[in-house]
Amino acid sequence: FFNKEGDFNNLTAAAYHKKTHLLVTGFASGVFHLHELPDFNLIHSLSISDQRIASISINCTGDWIAFGCSGLGQLLVWEWQSESYVLKQQGHFNSMVSLAYSPDGQYIVTGGEDGKVKVWNTSSSFCFVTFTEHNSGVTAVTFTSTGYVVLSASLDGTVRAFDLHRYRNFRTFTSPRPSQFSCLAVDSSGEIVAAGSQDSFEIFIWSMQSGRLLDVLAGHEGPISNLSFNPMKCVLASASWDKTVKLWDMLDSWRTKETLIMNSDVLVVAFRPDGKELAVAALNGQITFWDHENAVQTGSIEGRHDLQMGRKELDKITAKQAAKGKSFTTLCYSADGQSILAGGLSKFVCIYNVKEQILMKKFEISCNYSLDAMEVCEHRSLFFISSPPQDFSFDRRKMTEFGSMALIDEGGGGDEGVAIPLPGVKREIRVTCVRFCPTGRSWAATTTEGLLLYSLDSGLIFDPFELDIDVTPSNIHKTLNQKEYTVAIVMAFKLNEKKLIQEVIEAVPSSEVDVVCSSLPELYVEKLLEFLASAFETSCHLEFYLIWAHKLLMLHGQKLKTR
Kindly give the confidence (pLDDT) of every residue in the chain, 563 residues in length, as a single tens digit, with 9 standing for 90 and above: 777 666 556 889 999 999 999 999 999 888 999 999 888 899 988 888 888 999 999 999 999 999 999 878 889 999 999 989 888 888 888 789 999 999 999 999 999 999 999 999 998 889 999 999 999 999 999 999 999 999 999 999 999 999 999 999 999 999 999 999 999 999 999 999 999 999 999 999 999 999 999 999 999 999 999 999 999 999 999 999 999 999 999 888 888 999 999 999 999 999 999 999 999 999 999 999 999 999 999 999 998 888 887 666 666 666 666 666 789 999 999 999 999 999 998 889 999 999 999 999 999 988 777 777 666 654 444 444 444 444 444 556 666 666 666 666 555 444 444 445 555 455 788 999 999 999 888 999 999 888 999 988 754 333 434 444 577 888 888 889 998 999 899 888 888 788 889 999 999 998 999 999 998 888 889 889 989 998 888 888 999 999 999 999 999 988 888 77
548 and 513 inside one domain: yes
Both 105 and 84 in one domain: the answer is no
User: Is 215 among the domain residues?
Assistant: yes
3-state secondary structure of 519: helix
Vertex 97 angle, CA 219 and 160, to 5°? 65
Position 364 in a domain: yes
Q: Is the domain of 203 the same as that of 177?
A: yes
Residue 46, domain CATH: 2.40.10.480
**Among 90, 108, 134, residue at a domain's last position:** 90
Query: Considering the domain boundaries, does residue 383 fall inside one?
Result: no
In angstroms, the first-to-last Cα distance of the chain is: 49
Domain assignment present for residue 81? The answer is yes
3-state class percentages of the chain: helix first, strand second, coil last, to nearest 5:
20, 40, 45
Other Cβ atoms within 10 Å of 63 Cβ, number: 16
∠ Cα 436 109 79 (to 5°): 120
> Looking at the structure, do residues 45 and 86 belong to the same domain, yes or no?
yes
What's the number of domains the chain is made of? 3
Residues 41-47: contacts with CB under 8 Å, at least 24 apart = 43/80, 44/80, 44/83, 46/78, 46/83
pTM of the model: 0.73
Judge whether 380 lies within some domain: no
Residue 190 DSSP class:
S
Containing domain of residue 540, as a range?
473-562
Do residues 229 and 339 share a domain? yes
Cα 396 from chain centroid (whole Å): 35
29 and 116 both lie in a single domain: no
399 lies in a domain? no
- 332 shares a domain with 305: yes
Question: Using an 8 Å Cβ cutoff, are 137 and 121 in contact?
Answer: no
Domain's final residue, options 74, 90, 106:
90
Are 237 and 228 within 8 A, CB to CB?
Answer: yes
What sign does the dihedral 485-486-491-492 (CA atoms) show?
Answer: positive
Do residues 431 and 517 share a domain?
A: no
Supply the CATH number for residue 537's domain: 1.25.40.190
Asked whether residue 221 is domain-assigned, the answer is yes
118 & 203 share domain? yes
Distances (CA, A) of 380 to 156, 373, 397: 49, 19, 21
Closest CA to 160 of 450, 144, 248: 144
Residues 27 and 127 in one domain: no
Last residue of a domain, one of 67, 90, 113: 90
Same domain as 318, residue 197: yes
Q: Which residues of 356-381 are buried (b: 16+ CB within 10 A; e: fewer)?
A: eeeeeeebebeeeeebbbbeeeeeee
**Is 391 inside a domain boundary?**
no
Residues 147 and 19 in one domain: no
Indicate the angle between helix axes 522-538 and 498-506, nearest 10 degrees. Answer: 90
> Which helix H or strand E contains 538, and what residues bound it?
helix 522-538
Residue of 448, 267, 490 lying closest to 349 (CA atoms): 448
